[in-house]
A = this chain, B = another copy of it.
Amino acid sequence: MSIPKPVVPSLAQLTAFAARVSPLKFLTPENRKRIVRAASPLPFRRKEVLFLQGGPARSSWMLYSGRIGLMIETQSGRRQELEHIIPGELFGTLDRLFGHSKTYSLTAEATVESIALRIPDEMFKSAFSGDVELMSKLLGLCADRLAKMTELPRMSMEPPRTRLAFAISRLVRVYGNRIPIKEREIADIAGIAPETAYRTLHEFRECKFISPRRQHVEVLNPERIHAVWENASVSR
């Protein structure tokens, strides 16, 4: 029996999605519609590869649902997971589109069953080029991504509490204060053991930082959550 692939979203669902996520939400409705029509929503099973490190790149990618692991691979075949992409995030895009690289700098693999939007590079690039407002939004996305890439090596050395706060801050940036993800999955994104996550999430609940609901997590105090990981470095 083969595992069924996830059902791809309708055009109406894609249009609603595009109106909600950065940077597509900044486009005019007409330009957004043009991108949505040119985009292919592709279903991936768990462990399926979307693209390979070093492979030729002609498409921009955005995650619609599920979760994507970005992996780096060495010459000798050593593999390391660099980060997880969550729905609403771009991947395999900002480090190439306006730069010199014509290949993907890492391998993308579905961590769970996922739907990813593949958008032709030229389409994506032309929708944002030539408009000062849109380009400054893209610069903002690049800046946040650079900041995240700088934080990642630190996070791998930080204790679970700091990592969990960092993951929550990141989810708030994508989803706002109502994160449509269960506590267990947040632990997974932060890369910490479920039991450890449970203790820390309990502490965050006690401090009124978060409030878990049935299908989502409500972030009550994003500033304090942010302070947990950012101030980590100033307390010298």
Query: Smallest CB–CB gap between A190 and chain B, Å?
Result: 15
- Are the CB atoms of B143 and A74 closer together than 8 Å? no
Chain A contact residue count (CB 8 A cutoff): 57
Interfacial residues of chain A within 135-184, with CB under 8 A of chain B in the complex: 135-136, 138-140, 142-147, 149-154, 157-159, 162, 173
Q: Per a CB cutoff under 8 Å, which of B144, B158, B234, B235 touches A99?
A: B144
CA distance A33 to B189 in the complex (A): 47
- Are the CB atoms of B105 and A151 closer together than 8 Å? yes
- Are the CB atoms of B75 and A233 closer together than 8 Å? yes
- A binding-site residues for B, Cβ under 8 Å: 52-55, 72-78, 80, 82, 94-101, 103, 105-106, 129-132, 135-136, 138-140, 142-147, 149-154, 157-159, 162, 173, 230-236
Residues in B with CB closer than 8 Å to A234 are 52-55, 103
Given the known interface contacts A75-B159, A99-B147, A136-B135, the answer about A94 and B153 at a Cβ–Cβ threshold of 8 Å is: no
- Are the CB atoms of B157 and A98 closer together than 8 Å? no
Q: Per a CB cutoff under 8 Å, which of B82, B94, B105, B129 touches A142?
A: B94
How many copies of this chain does one complex carry?
Answer: 2
With A54-B230, A75-B158, A100-B144 known, 7 other A-B pairs at CB within 8 A are A54-B234, A73-B233, A97-B143, A99-B140, A99-B146, A132-B135, A149-B149
CA distance A173 to B55 in the complex (A): 22
| In the complex, residue of chain B having the shortest beta-carbon distance to the beta carbon of A94 | B146
